[in-house]
Amino acid sequence: MDQGADGQVSKPAIVRFEGVEKRFGDHVAVAGVDLEVAEDEFFALLGPSGCGKTTLMRLLAGFEQPDAGRILLDGQDIAALPAHRRPVHMMFQSYALFPHLNVAQNIAFGLRRQGLAKAEVAPRVEEMLALVRLDGLARRKPDQLSGGQRQRVALARALAPRPRILLLDEPLAALDRKLREETQLELIALQRRLGLTFMIVTHDQDEAMVVADRMAVMQAGAIAQVGPPRDVYERPQSRYVAEFIGEVNIFPREDGALLAVRPEKLFIARQPNGHPAMGGTLSDIAYFGDRTRYVVETSAGPVRISCANDGLDTRGPLSVGDAVWVSHPPEAAVVLPS
Amino acid sequence: MKRGRSSLAAILPFLWLAVFFAFPFFLVAKLSLSDTALAIPPYTPRLDWSQGLAGVRAFLAGLDGETYARLTKDSLYLSAYLSSLRLAAEGSGLLLLIGYPIAYGISRCPPRVRQALVMAVILPFWTSFLIRIYAWIAILKPAGVLNAVLHVVGLPPLDILNTETAVLLGLVYAYLPFMVLPLYAVLDRQDESLIEAAQDLGATPLAAFWRVTFPLSLPGALAGALLCFIPMAGEFVIPDLLGGSDTLMLGRVIWTEFFADRDWPAASAVAIVLLATLVVPILLFERQQAKVLS
């Protein structure tokens, strides 16, 4: 996908938030958000709970009305459209499956509301069941399904009426880690196959990085940074983003700015190795199999370093208490406003 | 120690049922199989313990289903029976029609208003049931409050006291909380995101109600309807105070047999028949409750 330096897309925007604001009493949930989501994009809204990401999604779905600003879908202001007339479907965090309807009836719900005849609904339901690999479970009630199966019914139900955009509200939060990771990959494959715009809300930075073409990191109702995961990770524009996405060491500079360096971009050695280096004492070693994490106490405070256990290093085994030098190539550091 | 206490806890409800349900039930059942007699108490046979086993045998031989046969011969019993069930059914239907919107309205209110409204539904229980039914006499009587209001508005007076209409009115009034509360319980517990999901999938608010809210509230509606139907079928006070001579309900028939005709076996037989009829809805209600609670 063509990307500008600021993370704006050159593909046509399917959704545009323009100065959108939403308050609940005194609480400002969404504070003047400008955002574009492109056609066929897998877009992630990422942030801690209470940052306004879910509210932003609910504004798009039509469950909330903005106090200011506009939301455009395919260039049209959708303020006047109630939720049931928006071609935007949502997969709820709780899945919100209708407990009195079986799997097929749940999936058919949106199709029936579109006025499709029964004869057209049945093959479409079959198609959806196959898509999410639930063939044979059509007659089951939601309470007879496992968590992973329910998640797929919710997905199929939201996809069945062919929305312009699929909204996913923390879709994998209820799954265990292994299933969650599998499902992330399935979601990506599904999105590519259907050529549909997906917008996911998540508090899990790993999930956002894995699935998203682009992501928006939110802070207190505002967008802190938008861009492809790689850009956001490698070139954070604020301390908040640097610290929210992955781990980071922050060093103050003489001019008052901050220097951010990711732990895996730091070298640890027994001697200075050419790059400007900081001396310190190794205070902690944690072995993770594929990598080892070190904490070095330096004059600038504790520094975290992550080294791949790729067998390529020549420094030999280190132990706690060793005097070591920490360095990084200059291009690994990002300058942040203080 | 702990075990002893838990088995005691298990026995208590059975003891309660034995003393206050099973024993009176067998007493009534036995009475219904006895013959009417001019004595005190007015029935035979009576168990004579002084005769020993022979007395018991004579007593058992004296029991018969003659009273039940008598019930089938007099059309009064059948019509009282049918009109009791009909009034209870009509009352339950009206209660559903009135109670559902009330329960739904309460469940849509903000939490603090909701609490106040639920309180308001329960509030009538703070005054005596009897007094509240007497109040209806004051409202419905020919020169009562209702007709005074009608007169002011310029409408012709209504003379409905001592009619079936007044009985239905009284039943609906008295049993409304029993309909509203179970309905409110299921509506209040309903997951808001289900309605949002329905609307998200293209259902208008009305369609979302009919396709999701309403079917999911049916267990509460059935629970409420049964909770009202069962006692209404045997209701005595309301038809006695608000009904006329033409309002035949089993509760009144039992009272008349027992106190006016002093025909204890007939009164007991009518009570047993009513109970037998209600066993089906009671079992239904129990099953429904188990489902709602699960």
User: Could you report the per-residue pLDDT of A270-324, keeping only the tens digit for each?
Assistant: 888 777 788 999 999 999 989 999 999 998 889 999 998 887 777 778 889 999 9
Mean pLDDT of chain A: 91
Tally Cβ neighbours within 10 Å of residue B7. 10
pLDDT greater at residue B31 or residue A223: A223
| Residues A72-88 as b or e (16 or more Cβ within 10 Å = b) | bbeeeebeeeebbebeb
Pairwise CB contact (< 8 Å): B197 & A82: no
Pairwise CB contact (< 8 Å): A83 & B199: yes
The tokens for A40 are: 């066929």
Q: What is the rounded CA–CA span in Å between residue B130 and residue A171?
A: 57
Interface of A with B in 56-75 (CB under 8 A): 61-63
Label the pairing between strands A249-252 and A323-327.
unpaired
Q: What is the rounded CA–CA span in Å between residue A305 and residue A263?
A: 4
Both A293 and A155 in a single domain?
Answer: no
Is the confidence at residue B56, as pLDDT, over 70?
yes
Task: Tell me which CATH code domain B71-293 carries.
Answer: 1.10.3720.10
Q: Does B75 touch chain A (CB under 8 A)?
A: no
Angle (deg, nearest 10), helices B66-73 and B264-293: 90
Q: What is the DSSP-derived secondary structure letter of residue B263?
A: -
Nearest residue to B230 (alpha-carbon basis) of B43, B11, B84, B40: B84
pLDDT at B55: 81
Q: Does B221 touch chain A (CB under 8 A)?
A: no
Label residue B277 by pLDDT band (50, 70, 90). confident
A55, A64 Cβ separation under 8 angstroms: yes
User: Three-class SS of residue A19?
Assistant: strand
pLDDT at B53: 83
Is the confidence at residue B117, as pLDDT, over 90?
yes
Q: Does A98 touch chain B (CB under 8 A)?
A: yes
B223, B143 Cβ separation under 8 angstroms: no
The tokens for A99 are: 């407990």
Order of strands across the sheet that contains A258-261: A249-252, A258-261, A334-336
Predicted ipTM?
0.86
Tally the residues of chain B. 294
The answer to whether residue A133 is domain-embedded is: yes
Both A264 and A223 in a single domain?
Answer: no
For tokens 């719900």, the residue is A109
Nearest residue to B227 (alpha-carbon basis) of B176, B167, B292, B159: B176
Both A184 and A261 in a single domain?
Answer: no
End-to-end CA distance of chain B: 31
Q: Name the residue of chain A whose CA is nearest to B217's CA.
A: A100
Which pTM was predicted?
A: 0.82
pLDDT in tens, A157-216: 999 999 999 999 999 988 999 999 999 999 999 999 999 999 999 999 999 999 999 999
Is the confidence at residue A233, as pLDDT, over 80?
yes
Which CATH number does the domain housing residue A99 bear?
Answer: 3.40.50.300
> What single-letter amino acid sits at B231?
P
Q: What is the rounded CA–CA span in Å between residue A196 and residue A193?
A: 8
Domain residue ranges of chain B, discontinuous segments joined by +: 71-293
The answer to whether residue A224 is domain-embedded is: yes
The tokens for A58 are: 């609910």
Which CATH number does the domain housing residue A273 bear?
Answer: 2.40.50.140
The tokens for A133 are: 């690999």
Give Cα B4 distance to the centre of its chain. Answer: 38
Angle (deg, nearest 10), helices A118-131 and A103-113: 130
Structural domain of A275 = 249-336
Is the confidence at residue A150, as pLDDT, over 70?
yes
- Burial of B8 per CB tally in 10 Å (0-12, 13-18, 19+): exposed
**Number of domains chain A contains:** 2
pLDDT at B1: 47
Mean pLDDT of chain B: 89
Write out chain B residues lying below 8 Å of A84, CB-based: 199-205, 207-208
Both A236 and A327 in a single domain?
Answer: no
pLDDT in tens, B140-185: 999 999 999 999 999 999 889 999 999 999 999 999 999 999 999 9
The answer to whether residue A4 is domain-embedded is: no
Pairwise CB contact (< 8 Å): B197 & A92: yes
Q: What does the pLDDT average to over A89-104?
A: 96
For tokens 């007879």, the residue is A144
In the A/B pair of chains, how many CB contacts fall below 8 A?
64
The answer for residues whose C-beta is within 8 angstroms of residue A98's C-beta and 6 or more apart is A105, A106, A109, A142, B194, B197, B198, B211, B212
Q: Does A113 touch chain B (CB under 8 A)?
A: yes
For tokens 């030098």, the residue is A325
